[in-house]
Structures are given as C-alpha cells and as structure tokens.
Amino acid sequence: MKKNTLLSPTDSGICSLLAPVDNIAHGIVSRAVLTTPGIRLTLFHFAAGQELSEHTSKARALVQILSGTCAFSVGATVHTLKPGDLLHLPPNAPHSLTAPEAFSMLLTQITEPAP
C-alpha cells in the first residue's frame, strides 16, 4: 500500500522536516506530512527564484520557516521570513511569496467548523 503522508493519522510517529531534498534545483517540491479532517501539514522546499502568485485559502494557516529565507507578502505588507519565524494567516487573507534563495517551510492549514 502506498504511503501518502510522512506521518500516519492513526499512529504515533516521527519524520525529519530537515532531511535534504533531491532534484529541487529549479522548482518547488511539496510533501504531505499529515492529513486529518481538520488539519493538513505540508512540507515545502523552494529553489531560489521560485514564486507563488497571490492567492487565498479558506483555511487558517501557519507558516513556519525551517531553512533559508523568503519574501512573504500578506496583502500589501512584505515580510522577510527566516528560520524560526512563524507567520499566521487568517482565512481568506491574500498572500504570495518569492524565494530569493532556496528555503523550506512547514505549512499548517486548519479547517475550522462552519458557524
């Protein structure tokens, strides 16, 4: 059976968020870490020069920088994020990012129950 996430939603486990990634010289690599009905964790590795255009998400998001730096825009405000920084995005916040150098981040998306 193919394993779709690094961690099982039903068992305890450990995975390395800092393990090296192959074949990232010119792109973006993402890997699902954990997916449950209300939470999704995704590990992203960006090559230098990569960008994500402005978009929104219905989920609440936490972005944790693991290595390198990025320019992360939330609306008209640009934040330079570095390892150890944690950025909170409320639902529907317009955001984009640029990678001036290779960097890695952990994205936690929280889907909240409808009111």
8 Å CB contact between 89 and 110: no
pLDDT tens-digit map of 46-82: 999 999 999 999 999 999 999 999 999 999 999 999 9
Residues 6+ apart with CB under 8 A from 115: none
Annotated domain spans of the chain: 43-110
CATH top class, domain 43-110: mainly beta
Token pair belonging to 101: 């150098």
> What pLDDT is stored for residue 24 in this prediction?
72
pTM of the model: 0.91
Rounded mean pLDDT, 85-97: 97
Residue-wise pLDDT for 106-115, tens only, equals: 999 999 877 7
